[in-house]
Structure 1
Amino acid sequence: MTTTFVAPRSVEEVLAALAAGGTAVAGGTDLVVGARQGKAPLPDSLVAIHRLDALRELETPDGGLKLGALVSHAEIVASDAVRDRFTALADASSIVGSHATRAQGTIGGNVMNASPAMESGGPLICFGAVAALASTHGTRWVGVEELFEGPGTTTARPDELLTSIDVPPPAAGTGSCYVRLEYRRQMEIAVVGVTAAVTIAGDGVAAARVAITALAPTIR
Structure 2
Amino acid sequence: MGGSDPGTLSPRAAATRQRILDAALAEFAEKGLAGSRVDEIAARAGANKRMLYAHFGSKEELWLTVLERAYAAKREEERGVEVDSLPPAQAMARLVAFNLRYTSRHPDFVALLNQENLHRAAYLRRSEQVPALYSPILEAIRSVLARGEATGAFRAGVDPMQLYISILALGHFYVANRHTLSTIFGTALDTEAAIAAREAHVAEVVLGYLRP
TM-score range, shorter chain: under 0.3
Bigger proportion of residues as strand: 1
TM-score by length of 1: 0.27
Asked which structure has the greater CA Rg, the reply is 2
Bigger proportion of residues as helix: 2
TM-score by length of 2: 0.28
